């Protein structure tokens, strides 16, 4: 559960509310989309719990895709992780850490030269957390466990402070519930993309499934329990934000949690919240660098990527080459792209594979000998709801003029993995068959 919560609560709840409120500026639509995003994530988590209990192998989604759909989809997943997904994820998390760090020092990370300084701080944070995870799983997991308690407790404190102190002072900002023009089809879809970025992490524990004790019992409990806990705290956090700040201020609040605390507690509140966010995002960086390199390691170990990526450190017994590769790509992305672009890039590149992974349950259930320790409640409707939500988001991204070109570029990079597969892995497989 610490890995699920630690991977999920990172930058999203502290950085995304401004962009989401800007797209759907109404109290009821805002809360509704956070609940809807949580329900979609829960549908995916329930299905994933079944797959994880049946296929408890290191690599998570990679293993599910390979079992359900074969080598090519599994390769494309790893290709996407290598070229886009994890670098964008690390960049978005690290830049949030850095912006709050700059804010604690008393500077505005939204203006020059402090915006550039924040990027440098983000790069250093990625390098430090990568080092922790190379030194050993115990070091990496210790950072996750400690920071998960701190971030969940800190976010809960912000909620209590906003509701107990801020709401009586302001009377809350919940009317009108649905302002005119606050719900539009295209804007709602783009806001949902940002919400799903904030919820991402519910699948990350499956990447280390091969290293989990009693996975048939513990993986479903961790995935479902962690997802429900995150959903509850996210909805409460947004209620707390609106208890202190009107929607119009949330729309322009780059660091909304710090602004809420400053309104209620003054400068001390800014320092407390910024420290909480820094702990939160640092822990998430560690969680991402603990889990995601295992995908590349598992692929290389299967012969689907360059063999050196599967190297294990002779002293620390960690996949140090995979961790170093993911961290290096994250450094490049964080120095080139801004937060919003990093977050949207991650979601658009990742959710097609989430849908394919969840859909694998339909194929695996028809196979003889398939005996998961946990079965998805509400099957086949629950997996179908998750897949439908992904289809809606992808269609919306392609229909929106502002995101169409970027989305097509992301898909082009992902599809470029097909000829790479046929020139490398596919050719090797055909040669083996011929022999």
Share of the chain above pLDDT 90, in %: 21
Residue 399, pLDDT above cutoff 70: yes
Q: Please check whether residue 260 lies inside any domain of the structure.
A: yes
Contact indicator for 230, 202 with CB cutoff of 8 Å: yes
Residue range 221-275, pLDDT digits in tens:
888 888 888 888 899 999 999 999 999 999 888 788 888 888 888 888 888 888 8
Dmax over Cα atoms in the chain, in whole Å?
77
Least confident of 108-117, 139-148, 329-338, 386-395: 139-148
What integer is the mean pLDDT of 99-106? 87
Q: Burial code of 370-402, b = ≥16 C-beta within 10 A, e = fewer? A: eebbbbbeeeeebbbbbbebbeebbebbeebee
Residue 41 lies in a domain: yes
Rounded CA gap, 121 and 101, in Å?
A: 8
* pLDDT given for residue 434 in this prediction: 43
Containing domain of residue 409, as a range?
A: 2-430
Inside any domain, residue 123: yes
The answer to whether residue 161 sits within a structural domain is yes
**Residue 344 within a domain:** yes
In a domain, 305, yes or no: yes
Q: Please tell me the distance from the alpha carbon of residue 283 to that of residue 413, in angstroms, as a whole number.
A: 29
What does pTM read for this prediction? Answer: 0.78
d(CA 384, CA 382) in angstroms, rounded, equals 5
Kindly report the average pLDDT of the chain as a whole number.
84
Q: CA angle, corner 354, sides to 349 and 358, nearest 5?
A: 160
pLDDT reported for residue 136:
67
Alpha-carbon gap, residue 309 to 370, rounded angstroms: 31
CATH of the domain at 90: 1.20.1740.10
* Comparison of pLDDT for 47 and 435, the residue scoring more: 47
Q: 111: phi > 0 → left, psi -120 to 50 → alpha, else beta; which?
A: beta
Please tell me whether residue 338 adopts helix, strand or coil conformation.
coil
The angle at the Cα of 192, spanning 330 to 403, to the nearest 5 degrees, equals: 65
In a domain, 435, yes or no: no
For residue 9, the SS3 value is coil
Domain assignment present for 88: yes
pLDDT given at position 435: 42
pLDDT at residue 205 is higher than 80: no
Q: How many domains does the chain have?
A: 1
CB 7 within 8 Å of CB 227: no
Q: How far is Cα 127 from Cα 145, in angstroms, rounded to an integer? A: 20
């Amino acid at each position: 559960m610490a890995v699920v919560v630690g991977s999920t609560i990172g930058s999203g709840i502290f950085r995304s509310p401004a962009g989401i409120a800007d797209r759907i500026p109404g109290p009821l639509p805002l809360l509704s989309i956070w609940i809807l995003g949580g329900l979609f994530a829960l549908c995916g988590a329930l299905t994933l719990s079944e797959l994880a209990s049946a296929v408890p192998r290191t690599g998570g989604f990679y293993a599910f895709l390979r079992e359900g759909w074969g080598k090519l989809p599994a390769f494309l997943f790893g290709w996407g992780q290598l070229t886009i997904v994890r670098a964008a994820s690390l960049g978005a998390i690290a830049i949030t850490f850095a912006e709050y760090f700059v804010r604690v020092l008393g500077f505005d990370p939204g203006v020059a030269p402090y915006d550039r300084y924040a990027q440098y701080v983000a790069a250093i944070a990625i390098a430090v957390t990568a080092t922790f995870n190379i030194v050993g799983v115990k070091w990496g997991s210790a950072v996750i466990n400690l920071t998960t308690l701190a971030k969940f407790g800190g976010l809960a404190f912000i909620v209590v402070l906003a509701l107990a102190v801020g709401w009586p002072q302001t009377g809350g900002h919940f009317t009108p519930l649905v302002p005119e023009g606050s719900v539009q089809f295209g804007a709602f879809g783009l806001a949902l993309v940002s919400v799903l970025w904030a919820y991402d992490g519910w699948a990350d524990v499956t990447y280390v499934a091969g290293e989990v004790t009693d996975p048939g019992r513990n993986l479903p409990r961790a995935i479902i329990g962690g997802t429900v806990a995150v959903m509850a705290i996210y909805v409460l956090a947004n209620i707390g934000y609106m208890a202190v700040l009107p929607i119009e201020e949330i729309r322009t609040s780059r660091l909304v949690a710090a602004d809420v605390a400053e309104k209620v507690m003054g400068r001390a509140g800014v320092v407390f919240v910024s420290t909480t966010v820094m702990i939160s995002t640092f822990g998430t960086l560690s969680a991402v660098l603990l889990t995601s390199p295992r995908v590349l390691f598992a692929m290389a170990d299967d012969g689907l990527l360059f063999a050196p990526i599967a190297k294990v450190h002779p002293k620390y017994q960690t996949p140090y080459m995979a961790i170093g590769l993911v961290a290096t790509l994250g450094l490049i992305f964080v120095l080139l792209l801004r937060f919003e672009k990093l977050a949207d890039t991650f979601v658009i590149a990742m959710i097609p594979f989430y849908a394919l992974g969840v859909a694998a349950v339909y194929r695996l259930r028809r196979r003889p000998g398939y005996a998961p320790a946990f079965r998805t409640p509400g099957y086949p409707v629950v997996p179908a709801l998750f897949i439908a939500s992904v289809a809606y988001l992808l269609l919306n991204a392609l229909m929106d003029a502002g995101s169409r070109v970027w989305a097509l570029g992301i898909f082009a990079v992902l599809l470029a993995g097909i000829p790479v597969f046929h020139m490398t892995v596919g050719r090797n497989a055909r040669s083996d068959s011929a022999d």
